[in-house]
Structure 1
Amino acid sequence: MNRIKEVLEQKGKKQVWLAEQLGKSYNMVNSYAQNRRQPSIEILYEIGKILQVDAKELLISSKLLVHNE
C-alpha cells in the first residue's frame, strides 16, 4: 500500500502533473494513487525524488495495516 495520493494532495500537485514528470500515462499514475497497482521500487524512488520526499514516506507500513484491520 502507498500514500502517493495523500502526498500529492499535501504538495498541492495533481496526478496529471506527476504522470508528466514520470513520463507515464495518467491511468498508470492513477492506478498507483488508488492502490490498484503498486509501483516498482525504482518508480517509487523516482516519485519520491519528484515530490521531494523520502521514498519511505510514500509507503504505508504493513504493521499499521495489520493493526488497523
Structure 2
Amino acid sequence: MKINRLKVILAEKEKTNKWLAEKLGKSDVTVSRWCTNEVQPSMETLLEIAKLLDVDIKELLNSSK
C-alpha cells in the first residue's frame, strides 16, 4: 500500500534521496525505503521533511478517500 508520496514530492522539488538523507541525518537506505513505501517515517520525521521541502505535510501523504 502506497501511504506516502515522498518519491513524487522529491522529484517535483528536484531533490534527491541522498540530499534528504543528509538533511535528516539518516542513511540513504532509510530514505530509499520510505520512497518505495517499504516502511514509513514517523509523524515527527514527516513534519521535518515537509519543512525541508516547503510543503504542507498533507502533500506527503496519499489520501485515504
Q: Same fold (TM over 0.5)?
A: yes
Q: State the distance in 2 between where 1:55 and 1:49 align.
A: 8
Q: Secondary structure at 1:61's aligned position in 2?
A: coil
Q: Give, as a single letter, the amino acid of the residue that structure 2 aligns with 1:46.
A: E
Can you give the 5+ residue segments of structure 2 that lack an aligned partner in the other structure? none
Q: Percent of aligned positions with the same letter in both sequences? A: 54
- Higher helix residue share: 1
Q: Give 1:25's aligned residue.
A: 27
Greater relative contact order (CA < 8 Å, ≥ 6 in sequence): 2
- Following TM superposition, where does structure 1 have runs of at least 4 consecutive aligned residues deviating by more than 4 angstroms? none
Task: Please provide the CA RMSD for this pair.
Answer: 0.5
Q: TM (normalized to structure 1)?
A: 0.89
- 1:3-23 Cα distance to aligned partner (Å, 9 max, x none): 000000000000000000010
Query: Following TM superposition, by how much is the alpha carbon of 1:62 offset from its aligned partner in structure 2, in angstroms?
Result: 1.5
Paired with 2:40 and 2:7, the residues of 1 have a C-alpha distance of 12
Q: Which blocks of at least 5 consecutive residues in structure 1 are unaligned?
A: 64-69
